[in-house]
Structure 1
Amino acid sequence: MSSRSSFQALGRLLRYARGHRRHIVAATVCSVINKLFDIAPEILIGVAIDVVVNQEDSFVAGLGFTSAREQILVLGVLTFLIWAGESLFEYLYQILWRNLAQRLQAELRQDAYEHVQRLDMGFFESQSSGRLVAIMNDDVNQLERFLDGGANSMVQVVVTVVAVGAVFFVLSPLIALLAFTPIPLIVWGAFFFQRKAGPLYAEVRERVGELASRLSNNLAGIATIKSFTAEAREAERLRRASEAYVDANRRAIRISSAFIPVIRMAILTGFLATFTVGGMMALRGDLNVGAYGVLVFLTQRLLWPLTGLAQVIDLFERAMASTRRILDLLATPIQVHDAGGTELARPVRGAVRFDGVSFRYAESGAGVEAVDLEVPSGHTLALVGATGSGKSTLIKLLLRFHDPAEGRVLIDDQPVESLTLASLREAIGLVSQDVYLFEGSVRDNIAYGRPEASEDEVIKAARTAEAWGFIQTLPQGLDTPVGERGVRLSGGQRQRLSLARALLKDPPILVLDEATSAVDNETEAAIQRSLARIGHGRTVIMIAHRLSTIVHADQIAVIEAGRVVERGCHDELLAQEGRYAAQWRVQTGEIGAALSA
């Protein structure tokens, strides 16, 4: 990673923050004025020395203040004003830079999150949640830390070099050249260390993402870890990830820490040149004593702050490594675009058609091939087949989590890719095998799709999903917290809440993706009774492994290797004596009974 790459990242950040241009300019101006006030006392010290030595012949006397007493009083007033001005502008630049840091970090995090929400599901299938959290949290915070202090330091280093250099060349061009001799070495050293440190900090950011991902996965899977008594093994894996992060930081720190000792020697060279050559010139009378004092004091003002370049560059490199990751995330292209032109025609009848649909996942090659299926409005379609056959892929295509490579998916004869995503997904209620409940109350989760729903509507949906019975037994009823991902509820209770959530949405199309595969017989029976009530007048698409749950479906499609190999109602498929019939015999025990006989 080169300095050019880091400054390109800075340019990208400035383009992103163009709405804050006035704020940035104001903060920069306050930093500049503060630094000018900061170096002024050294000049006043030299002027004071000149007053004490030369009195009526001093520089201040030339301004109309003849007596030494008047001159000292004038310098005292100027010192007060300068210190007051420095304090005022320090307050202003801190307020401006810190508020800018807070505003930018909030906007970056929000924009990144909103952009991630618009990305297609394929993006999430190829990314770890820990990495995304690290970018939206840790990387954004890293940038905030730089804007809090590092940006001001960079501005003030430049101002120091320019302002002090101007004073030097006015007082003594020769000493100015001597004092400035180490600066090219210091700047070269700064960029040399920056080039060395840049790739190391990029690696640090990657290690942070991996560590966050490991923590996130382990905390989510803590029950599995405990059940397999794998605590020690997982602790060791986390230790290795943590050590990798420490090692990456150690390599970066080794480079950045070497900067100051090397640069100190270059600074000493410039200071000794000013100290000795300027002293000799003052002794010969070639240089005013007060000017000599100004030069000695300003040499330190000029050179010593440059040692802070190490810390500034450290912050800068960390921030730019983070900025690249944030802005690269924001630049991730959206594959499934919201057409935004056509609303799904109302009222939605719910007729669904897959017309020659083909789609393959890039990573695995799995998917569907030339699928033709039609579900009339108010009918039920059941999809059966082995795991990985393509059943869930059809649901993802219906919801436009992906777009098909060939063919079309239509609702009420409108291609889904021509519809706004909001109107499309509002028409579909999804109940998945992997139920996700949000941290909050039972009420919050049921009303997730309709936050404005009344309590009566929430209760009605819960009754229809046969969830009201157990809700009434909870300590706080509808207001009972469910815990993170619903951990305080059983699997069957979570599934019934998921169904109630979909029912409250009252969608014309209801999709059940293995909704009863992970529940007990009682819960399955309850869900089946619910489906029998809510299926009337509603299009239902079911994915099921238990064939007993779909015998009443109007149409059953058997999917194998991404293709529809059989279709028909339950009785028709049994009569065909094909794959469905064979699976039915296995599940009902007919084969086992025959073998026993």
Structure 2
Amino acid sequence: MTTRAQHTSSFAALGRLLRYARGYRRQIIAATTCSIINKLFDIAPEILIGVAIDVVVNQEESFVAGLGFETAQEQITILAVLTFFIWAGESLFEYLFQILWRNLAQRLQSDLRQDAYEHAQRLDMSFFEANSSGQLVATMNDDVNQLERFLDGGANAMIQVAVTVVAVGAVFFVLSPLIALLAFTPIPLIIWGAFYFQRKASPLYADVREKVGDLSSRLANNLGGIATIKSFTAEQREAKRLKDASEAYVDANRRAIRISSAFIPVIRMAILAGFLATFTVGGMMALEGSLNVGAYGVLVFLTQRLLWPLTGLAEVIDLFERAMASTRRILDLLAEPVNVRDDAGKSLEQPVRGKVSFNQVSFRYAGSGAGIQDITLSVPAGNTLALVGATGSGKSTLIKLLLRFYDPSHGDIRIDGQPIREVSLKSLRDAIGLVSQDVYLFEGSIRDNLAYGKPDASEEEIMEAARTAEAWSFIEGLPQGLDTPVGERGIRLSGGQRQRLSLARALLKNPPILVLDEATSAVDNETEAAIQRSLKRIGHNRTVIMIAHRLSTIVDADTIAVVENGRIVEEGDHDSLIRNNGAYAAQWRVQTGQA
């Protein structure tokens, strides 16, 4: 993602942003129009100053006198009235462009973040395995905010610099083409310098955004693993790692700042040359009488109005480059392809009985090459299938394929005879309740977490699911009961309590297919026994697929499949596999102390 971004120009990123924001075309046009009118009003007072000087010097022969205002007093009065309306107009349109640009910034950043998040939710699990959560959070939060800062002020500044050059240039060429040429001589150098520094700064700011993501990842990982850090007394080591990541961010910024800071001194000298040319040549022409004194005043004032704002190009370009580096990351995230498509409009035929079949299913992970090969399995509706085997043998891969976190490279998976690729993801996943070893509880109350899969569940339904999972006994013993906060990732609860809540959460969905991915491997004997009792109650009329390392938990399974190196090497019930005296029997003897 970042490599492609570094080789995309900032103006290409701006083009991509404008295409994304085409729904905001009216707001962009309105904001731009207000910025232009505001700037035209802003440069008008300098012209009026020159006209006023002309009135004072030439009186009845001044430019304003030619408009029908004969006395100098009338001319000054009309100039005062014009000045009032110009300042009022400038203030009005400044208010309008501020409102329009800032509201656009807020609306666009909100939509970008929402679209990026919703797109990320549709991405395959392989994307999340290849990209750190810290980088993604930095993209959706810090990068979006960086773009918002540019739209708040930078966009208006760029437009107004362009308007200044065009409008002031037009006045210059009307009053004195020679001085106009002299005043505009530095502008090509200034623009060349701007593009030169832009090209130099672009990859540097892309690196800055990358370092922000690295820093966010380090912070997220360390705060999430604070218990491990403390248990290994690794605080100093992790503080050093964070400092290294922070210093890398500082260094990346320092390199970018060094380039952007060099812009102003170079441009100042070019501006000085243009101003001196106008000041001296125009002054000589006024002394000779070939240039009106008022016009000379206008030219001197407008030269500063023309050239000095260009020093702000450094700041504007700095803001622009940061924003475009962020824009590339956001739009690159939005451009990430979704391989597991949710194009099917059909739902699983109701009621779902729960028959699951894997038909010559093969799959390999892109990074490691691990996976499964030619798996064929069938689980009748209401039966229990147990998958056993060494870590990395392919058991969890079967579950991921069943849930369509990935799609197999060969073969298909069916529920009640329907290929799961031909039904919507919602219909598929609504039919499956997953209880994994790594329980994730969201920050909130126990009630919120239990009702996560069924937000409209009644109090009675929640309590019944908790009782079935043997979680109610500890819930009612808590001071706040169901309203007890669980903390981030459920940190306020024990591992066994979290596991029972996870089972209750899955049961509340009342899914026809229940999947337990090593759900009892990390719990104490009491919790394991409780979960086993629960399974005996809930396994009736429900298809259960279990992954287990403790063979004692699956002896009652209708079918046990032994997986080795991505293939099924044995299949049968507990008694037949013991009689077969193969891999399962050998593992059973080891776990029961008979080896």
Which bracket does the TM-score occupy, shorter chain normalised? over 0.9
Specify the alignment match of 2:79 in structure 1.
75
Specify the alignment match of 1:135 in structure 2.
139
Specify the alignment match of 1:295 in structure 2.
299
**Counterparts of 1:300 and 1:194, CA distance in 2:** 24
Give the letter for the 1:264 counterpart. R
Matched, 1:282 2:286: yes
Q: Of 584, 588, 591, which residue of structure 2 is paired with 1:584? A: 588
Summarize the alignment of residues 161-560 of structure 1 with structure 2, pairs less than 5 Å apart.
Answer: 161-560=165-564
**Counterparts of 2:276 and 2:343, CA distance in 1:** 70
Give the letter for the 1:79 counterpart. T
Query: Structure 1 residues 167, 7: CA separation in 2 closer, same or farther (over 3 Å shift)?
Result: same
**Counterparts of 1:205 and 1:370, CA distance in 2:** 44
Residue 473 of structure 1, CA deviation: 1.0
**Counterparts of 1:340 and 1:70, CA distance in 2:** 78
**Counterparts of 1:132 and 1:344, CA distance in 2:** 33
Residue 304 of structure 1, CA deviation: 0.2
**Counterparts of 1:2 and 1:518, CA distance in 2:** 44
Specify the alignment match of 1:16 in structure 2.
20
Specify the alignment match of 2:55 in structure 1.
51
Query: Structure 1 residues 4, 359: CA separation in 2 closer, same or farther (over 3 Å shift)?
Result: closer
Residue 8 of structure 1 aligns to a residue whose secondary structure is: helix
Residue 151 of structure 1 aligns to a residue whose secondary structure is: helix
Specify the alignment match of 1:61 in structure 2.
65
> C-alpha offsets along residues 81-107 of structure 1, whole Å, 9 cap, x if unaligned?
000000000000000000000000000
How many residues end up aligned between the 2 structures? 591
**Counterparts of 1:150 and 1:429, CA distance in 2:** 50
Query: Structure 1 residues 2, 128: CA separation in 2 closer, same or farther (over 3 Å shift)?
Result: closer
Q: Is the 8 A contact 1:3 1:191 kept in 2?
A: no
**Counterparts of 1:460 and 1:25, CA distance in 2:** 58
> C-alpha offsets along residues 390-424 of structure 1, whole Å, 9 cap, x if unaligned?
00000000000000000000000001111100000
Identity %: 81
Residue 24 of structure 1 aligns to a residue whose secondary structure is: helix
Query: Structure 1 residues 117, 2: CA separation in 2 closer, same or farther (over 3 Å shift)?
Result: closer
Query: Structure 1 residues 187, 424: CA separation in 2 closer, same or farther (over 3 Å shift)?
Result: same
Residue 342 of structure 1, CA deviation: 1.4
Residue 24 of structure 1, CA deviation: 0.1
Matched, 1:90 2:94: yes
**Counterparts of 2:466 and 2:343, CA distance in 1:** 35
Residue 444 of structure 1 aligns to a residue whose secondary structure is: helix
**Counterparts of 1:422 and 1:129, CA distance in 2:** 24
Give the letter for the 2:240 counterpart. E
Residue 217 of structure 2 aligns to a residue whose secondary structure is: helix
> C-alpha offsets along residues 484-536 of structure 1, whole Å, 9 cap, x if unaligned?
00000000000000000000000000000000001000000000000000000
Give the letter for the 2:257 counterpart. I
Specify the alignment match of 2:569 in structure 1.
565
Structure 1 gaps of 5+ residues are 592-597
**Counterparts of 1:83 and 1:232, CA distance in 2:** 60
Residue 548 of structure 1 aligns to a residue whose secondary structure is: helix
**Counterparts of 2:66 and 2:7, CA distance in 1:** 49
Specify the alignment match of 1:113 in structure 2.
117
Residue 473 of structure 1 aligns to a residue whose secondary structure is: coil
Residue 2 of structure 1, CA deviation: 9.1
Specify the alignment match of 1:594 in structure 2.
none
Residue 30 of structure 1, CA deviation: 0.1
Residue 339 of structure 1, CA deviation: 2.4
> C-alpha offsets along residues 45-100 of structure 1, whole Å, 9 cap, x if unaligned?
00000000000100001111100001101000000000000000000000000000
**Counterparts of 1:151 and 1:341, CA distance in 2:** 43
Q: Is the 8 A contact 2:218 2:242 kept in 1?
A: yes
**Counterparts of 1:16 and 1:292, CA distance in 2:** 47
Residue 341 of structure 1, CA deviation: 2.3
Alignment TM-score, normalising by the size of structure 2: 0.99
Give the letter for the 1:474 counterpart. L
Q: Is the 8 A contact 2:6 2:206 kept in 1?
A: no
**Counterparts of 2:314 and 2:510, CA distance in 1:** 61
**Counterparts of 2:530 and 2:7, CA distance in 1:** 64
Give the letter for the 2:233 counterpart. T
Q: Of 17, 27, 30, which residue of structure 1 is paired with 2:31? A: 27
**Counterparts of 2:343 and 2:146, CA distance in 1:** 36
Q: Is the 8 A contact 1:2 1:195 kept in 2?
A: no
Q: Is the 8 A contact 2:344 2:421 kept in 1?
A: no
Residue 4 of structure 1, CA deviation: 7.5
Alignment TM-score, normalising by the size of structure 1: 0.98
**Counterparts of 1:215 and 1:171, CA distance in 2:** 61
Specify the alignment match of 2:150 in structure 1.
146
**Counterparts of 2:6 and 2:528, CA distance in 1:** 61
Residue 400 of structure 1 aligns to a residue whose secondary structure is: coil
**Counterparts of 2:485 and 2:205, CA distance in 1:** 42
Query: Structure 1 residues 202, 474: CA separation in 2 closer, same or farther (over 3 Å shift)?
Result: same
Give the letter for the 2:316 counterpart. V
Residue 474 of structure 1, CA deviation: 1.0
Specify the alignment match of 2:164 in structure 1.
160
Most deviating of 32-41 and 338-347: 338-347
**Counterparts of 1:45 and 1:433, CA distance in 2:** 78
Give the letter for the 2:377 counterpart. L
> C-alpha offsets along residues 427-465 of structure 1, whole Å, 9 cap, x if unaligned?
000000000000000000000000000001000000000
**Counterparts of 1:406 and 1:195, CA distance in 2:** 47
Give the letter for the 1:314 counterpart. D
> C-alpha offsets along residues 532-558 of structure 1, whole Å, 9 cap, x if unaligned?
000000000000000000000000000
Give the letter for the 2:113 counterpart. R
Where in structure 1 do 4 or more consecutive aligned residues deviate above 6 Å? 1-4
> C-alpha offsets along residues 258-301 of structure 1, whole Å, 9 cap, x if unaligned?
10011000000000000000000000100000000000000000
**Counterparts of 2:442 and 2:466, CA distance in 1:** 17
Residue 475 of structure 1, CA deviation: 1.6
Give the letter for the 1:271 counterpart. F
**Counterparts of 2:9 and 2:176, CA distance in 1:** 39
Query: Structure 1 residues 27, 56: CA separation in 2 closer, same or farther (over 3 Å shift)?
Result: same
